[in-house]
Every structure is written in C-alpha cells, then in structure tokens.
Structure 1
Amino acid sequence: MKINIAICDDNKIFCNQLKEFIERYSHDNDTRCKVSSFNSGIELLEQYTDDYKIIILDIEMEGMNGIETALEIRKKNQKVIMWFLTVSEAYVMDGYKAEAFRYLIKPLSYEEFAEQFKESIKWVEEKYVTPIIVEYKNETYHLEEDDILFIEVYGHKLIYHLHNKPITTIDSLKNIETKLSKSSFVRIHRSYLINLKKVKTFNKVEIIMQNNEKVPISKYKEKEFKQAYTQFWGKILG
C-alpha cells in the first residue's frame, strides 16, 4: 500500500526535515510513502484530497493555524491520522478536539519520530485495507470492512450481512479471512465470521449485532471470541 502523507508547516526547513525523516523511515522499513508539503493551512485545504492517510500539522502558523485547519479536514474525513507539532504544550487540549493521533514537541529527533511513525503506519494499514470485491446479481460491489457486520457460510455460498441488506456470493470463509483485518474480525463458529466493531451485546450462546441480528457462538470458540473482544476494545478505549 502506498501511503500519502501531507506535511503542513510555514517553516520550510522543518518541512524538509520531516520529509527526510519519512524518506529515511520508508527506506529502512520497506514502506511506500509519498510526501506532499504545504506552507499554510489554507494551501492544504485548497489542495486537500481523501488520498492523504496521515497529516502532520504545525499548530502555530500565520493565518489559519493547525487546529483550525484540522477541524476543517475532520468535517470531510474522520479516518485520517492527524499529528500536531509545536514548540509549546499550551495547545494540547485544543489538539484533542481535532482527534489528534500524536502531539509532539519540536525539535524532534529522528528516533522519536520513527517510534511514533511506526504506530501511525500500523494504524493506517489496519484502517485502510483493500476493499473486498463481491459479485452479486450481475453487479460488482466494493465492500469496506466497516460495511460488513458479519459473514455467514450457507452451503457453498457466503452471505455478507451488511447494514442495509445481505449479499450472497460463491467463496470460502477461509479465503475471505485472509483478506480481512485480523484485529477486527474473528471466527466465532465454523459458519460465522463477525466484525468486532459491529457487536452490540453478547452472552454465552450468541452475539447481537448492531442491526439486531443474532449470531450463535460455538462453545469451542467462546474463549477465543472473548479474548479477541477484550484485546480489540481495550486497544481502542485505552
């Protein structure tokens, strides 16, 4: 996956330093990154696209500052990762209003950058997975993980249970498992694979999904499900 990154800072020297950090990290870790630099929040907003997966913003810029820029971007994109960089800790709480992923103080060493950047790359790879392509009634669907509540095996077919309707196709659950995020999807039965993000509630024998459909838990999978559920939500909420 190629990861598009935007750096927005009115200090060109610091912009270039960050770009060098990203290029060094990409080379050392075999990661494909494309970097675009912007000297103001207005310039970034004028050229902004959803292709950017990580945006690194200086907070104290003339005109539109980094927080204001980030809040405008959040209106268009809730998934993009935001970093805030500044020489002062005074803006920390404001940064979190824009759902900051990281808040780092300048000057920044490469070692500190690389440690935080590694976590951002991991997050991007989990959130921006390749869509699942499904053929259904002579139509082709590109499904994102968040579209899927759970997947059911029915004979030699798979049924994708979505928020608005089910889609049936010919495939195997084993094959689909390899294409989905291992942290979000868990097998709870030989015939069911569920999206942990879409669980409403559960008990020992079944899981109730957000659309109120009930999915049975195999007694052999109960422990595995609970471990996966705890790990997933512990990570998100912690």
Structure 2
Amino acid sequence: MTMLAIVDDDASARARLAGFARRYMQENAEPLEIREYSSAVDLLHHYKPQYDIIFLDIEMSEVDGIRAAHIIRETDPTTILIFVTNMAQLAIKGYEVEALDFIVKPIDYGSFAMVMHRASQRVERRRGQTLSLTARGTTQIVAFDRIGYVEVRNHYITYHTTEGDITVKGTLAQAEEALRQGNFMRCNRWYLINIDNVTGIDGNRVTVGDWTVEVSRSKKQEIMRAVTLSMGAVR
C-alpha cells in the first residue's frame, strides 16, 4: 500500500490530482491510499513520517510549499516530495529539500503519470531493502530508508532510525555487510551514513534527518560525490 498526500489550497486542483492518482493506481494495479489537505498547516499539524509520496503546492497562504518541505525534512528525510506550481522557476528551490520532481499547472495526465512512475519505482526500491535486528530478545524488521546512520562503539552497533535507536553487538565491517545492498558509506572510523537520506553538508558535518555526523577530511569529497549521484539518480 502506497500512502500519498496531496496538499493544495485549490479544491479543484486537489480533486484533479487525486483523480489522476486513482487512474494511475487502476492502470498499474497498485494499492494506494490518498489523503487530501487544504493547507500545509493541516499537513504539518502533528506530522508523522507515514507518507511515501507528498504532492505539495508551492504557492499556498500561511505556510507555502517550500517552507512546509523544509519543516517536513527536519523529521522525515525519506518521504518523496513532488512540487506542484504555476511557475516552473519556483521549483528550483526543490533541490534544497531533495524534491524528486515538480509538475507545472495546469496538470495533464501524461506528465503526472511520468512523475508518478518515477516516484513509485523509488518507493518499491526502498521497500525491497530491509534489515532484521535482534536486541534484548526482540527482533525488528527495519527498512533501509528509515536508517539515518549507524554508529559503532566498543563492539556494539547502534542503528539510528526514524522509529528510535536499536543497539546490537557487532563491528562496523559487519554493519557494512548487512547494508551492502543499500546506499551506505563510511564517513569516519565509527559511522556509516545513509547517502539517500542526507539533507545537507556543512564543512565537515553532514545532516541526515535529525542527526548531524562528523565526516573525516579524507572522506568528505567522496561523500559529496555520492550525495550528488544519489540526487541525480532519482531526477
């Protein structure tokens, strides 16, 4: 089940997008749940990282789509953001929040379907990557996209996830092996970061969701190239 949110203060625009989404679902036999919001304020109220894809109108009163995206990225580095706008030049700001794409109004089904296909592919790729972790007798299945970074200290591995921290015994090499199918990279001798979830690089620090992690000088350029490639791969 794909969870999709449509945020637009224009009721007719919301209805049009929702109709296109249902049509796409029927044509591709994909289960889909849609929730509509008439403002970004409504979406952000008690926001939880539950949506796979969010369509955000850029020009809204109170809180515009760009501001809303920045707020979303503070707690949710993985949801796929797609901007909807009357002015294509405004969508360039989407790079600041790692938006997947944008659609220009008035929207036609062909344009929507292309963007939706790209977003659906990314959702499926993420869902296929999970890790089984057993801590204190309890086993949890964690999706790679919910992992921000991995920290190793004193032969214990802590997986920092959007649902909380999970600590198990092990080494950094073992964590790398477990995550080899994902897009994880060492940023220093203690940490692995999820390149797909990086939202900023400032000096020798990288931001991954709510976390800030130090990057060694020898790894900085490699990390920057990997982040650039990750962003380009989904646009």
Bucket of the pairwise TM-score, normalised by the shorter protein? 0.5 to 0.7
Deviation of residue 143 (structure 1)?
3.1
Deviation of residue 88 (structure 1)?
0.9
Q: C-alpha distance in 1, partners of 2:32/2:67?
A: 26
Q: CA RMSD in A?
A: 3.2
Q: C-alpha distance in 2, partners of 1:21/1:209?
A: 48
Q: C-alpha distance in 2, partners of 1:99/1:70?
A: 9
- SS of 2:183's equivalent in the other structure is helix
Q: C-alpha distance in 1, partners of 2:53/2:93?
A: 19
1:32-43 aligned at under 5 Å gives the runs 32-43=31-42
**CA distance 1:68–1:133, shift in 2 (3 Å):** same
Which of 192-201 and 55-64 deviates more? 192-201
Aligned residue in 1 for 2:216: none
**CA distance 1:140–1:59, shift in 2 (3 Å):** same
Q: TM-score, normalised by structure 1?
A: 0.63
The one-letter amino acid paired with 2:140 is: Y
Q: Is the 8 A contact 2:82 2:99 kept in 1?
A: yes
Aligned residue in 1 for 2:8: 9
Q: Is the 8 A contact 1:198 1:209 kept in 2?
A: no
CA deviations over 1:80-138 (Å, ceiling 9, x no partner): 11111111123133232222111221111101110110010111122244744455663
Aligned residue in 2 for 1:194: 180
Which of 135-144 and 35-44 deviates more? 135-144
Q: Is the 8 A contact 1:88 1:105 kept in 2?
A: yes
The one-letter amino acid paired with 1:125 is: E
Aligned residue in 2 for 1:65: 64
Q: Is the 8 A contact 2:7 2:40 kept in 1?
A: yes
Q: Which runs of 5+ in 1 are unaligned?
A: 150-160, 168-184, 202-207, 213-231
Deviation of residue 53 (structure 1)?
1.1
Q: TM-score, normalised by structure 2?
A: 0.64
Say whether 1:52 aligns with 2:51. Answer: yes
Q: C-alpha distance in 1, partners of 2:105/2:117?
A: 19
1:83-98 aligned at under 5 Å gives the runs 83-98=82-97
**CA distance 1:92–1:145, shift in 2 (3 Å):** closer
Deviation of residue 139 (structure 1)?
2.8
Aligned residue in 2 for 1:100: 99
Q: Which runs of 5+ in 2 are unaligned?
A: 151-156, 160-166, 171-175, 193-225
Q: Is the 8 A contact 2:135 2:168 kept in 1?
A: no
**CA distance 1:138–1:120, shift in 2 (3 Å):** same
Say whether 1:236 aligns with 2:222. Answer: no
Q: Is the 8 A contact 2:58 2:85 kept in 1?
A: yes
The one-letter amino acid paired with 2:13 is: F
The one-letter amino acid paired with 2:70 is: L
The one-letter amino acid paired with 2:180 is: I
Higher relative contact order, structure no. (Cα contacts within 8 Å, ≥ 6 residues apart): 2
Aligned residue in 1 for 2:77: 78
- SS of 1:52's equivalent in the other structure is coil
